[in-house]
Amino acid sequence: MRGHEIRELLRMRKIAVLCGGVGGARFAQALYASFPAASLNLIVNVGDDFEHLGLKICPDLDTVYYTLTGRNDEARGWGVAGESWHCLETLSALGAESWFQLGDWDLALHLARTEMIRKGARLTEVCAHLVQQSKLKCTLLPVTDDPLRTQIRSRGQVLDFQEYFVREKCAPVYDGVLFAGAETAQMTPEVKGLLTGKGIDCLMIAPSNPYLSIAPMLAIPGMREALHNRQFPVIAVSPLIGGQAVKGPLVKIMAERGMSPSPVGIAQEYAGLIDGFVCDIADQTKQEELEAMGVQVKFTETLMSKPGVKKTLAEAALAFAQAIGAAETKDPS
């Protein structure tokens, strides 16, 4: 990216990102390296959160946190690199539940978070403490401090998300999703302050699973309204590349919903909420369909495990948001 283009990006003083899962964490890392970190606000899904062995577990928040601090296990996509498993092995030997793998270093985070919450801290305050202790420059925000649980409907059963995702390895047929607690959950004051009015210059929706990572956040009262009434451009990044997901059950879920795995289906999930859509170059054949939906489209490489792509993707998404924002400023109608 040329110098004058970088200066244009710096005109955006503050951005926010809705994210969850491995794709969301990698995109957050890409933006962290390409945009002034102090101006980056990461709003993270908590629908995966649950209590296990008496501990407060926050998988999406932790994946983003470990990725930004460079401690994530790239091979597995979750947890800490070089982890040891002495506690888990002992739990298994004692006949305790061991289907959810908690490493020894990972356990320290869960213990500290659980104790802070027990003493009255909000989850938002716990995240701020972690960011400060790790000397990260960005803001890491749970979308809500209230209980919110993603549950999967499958053939008359209701499975908590981690039962479906980890214990059953996404094998059950996806018949739909529930967001327990969403009707009473509230955006945190920090998140509400960003998404209402002119708190940010743009919002990115990371290449996360739209059904399991983004939809829980959009189910919170006021979230969709904030995006519908936005005073900033919203850019989504497709989690699909040539009809395939990089990781996770997205393609399986779309098939079980009777949908073809296409960025068109993803854009339909965000209808009315986004101004621009970043897709992989492998999906350029979908340009006409996407633009017919009234969405501007940008094609670039999006496979972030490929060397150099994180940087080019982040810069392309930021430049796209800048261009859309500038056009809307000139023509507010």
Per-residue pLDDT tens digits for 120-161: 999 999 999 999 999 999 999 999 999 999 999 999 999 999
Average pLDDT over residues 4-22: 74
Q: Look up tokens 């649950």; give the residue.
A: 50
Lowest mean pLDDT of 9-23, 150-164, 306-320, name the range: 9-23
Q: What are phi and psi of 118, to 5 degrees?
A: -60, -30
- Cα atoms in the Cβ-side hemisphere of radius 13 Å centred on 330: 6
The secondary structure of residue 165, as a DSSP letter, is I
> How many whole angstroms separate alpha carbon 31 and alpha carbon 112?
28
Predicted pLDDT of residue 7: 43
Average pLDDT over residues 243-257: 95
- The residue ranges of every structural domain in the chain are 3-74+124-144+180-330
Rg of the chain in Å (alpha carbons): 19
> How many whole angstroms separate alpha carbon 197 and alpha carbon 209?
27
Q: What CATH architecture is 3-74+124-144+180-330?
A: 3-Layer(aba) Sandwich (3.40)
Binned at pLDDT 50, 70 and 90, residue 102 comes out as very high
| Mean pLDDT score of the chain | 93
Instruction: Count CB neighbours of 282 within 10 A.
Output: 17
Q: Greatest CA span in the chain, whole angstroms?
A: 66
> How many whole angstroms separate alpha carbon 320 and alpha carbon 217?
24
Q: What are phi and psi of 152, to 5 degrees?
A: -105, 130
With 50 as the cut, is the pLDDT of residue 2 above it? no
With 70 as the cut, is the pLDDT of residue 6 above it? no
Maximum mean pLDDT: which of 33-42, 68-77, 194-203, 294-303: 294-303
Which ranges of the chain does DSSP label H, i.e. alpha helix? 3-9, 21-34, 59-68, 86-93, 104-118, 123-133, 161-162, 189-195, 215-218, 223-228, 250-256, 263-269, 287-292, 309-330
pLDDT digits (tens, 9 = 90+) for 158-205: 999 999 999 999 999 999 999 999 999 999 999 999 999 788 999 999
- From the list 289, 290, 315, 286, the residue with the least C-alpha distance to 300 is 315
Helix (H, G, I), strand (E, B) or coil at 246: coil
* Interior angle at CA 51, CA 46 and CA 54, nearest 5: 145
- From the list 22, 44, 228, the residue with the least C-alpha distance to 143 is 44
> How many whole angstroms separate alpha carbon 24 and alpha carbon 204?
10
Are 112 and 133 a contacting pair, CB within 8 Å? no
- What is the strand order of the sheet 149-154 is part of? 157-160, 149-154, 176-180
Report in angstroms the alpha-carbon separations of 190 from 95, 118, 123, 125.
42, 21, 12, 11
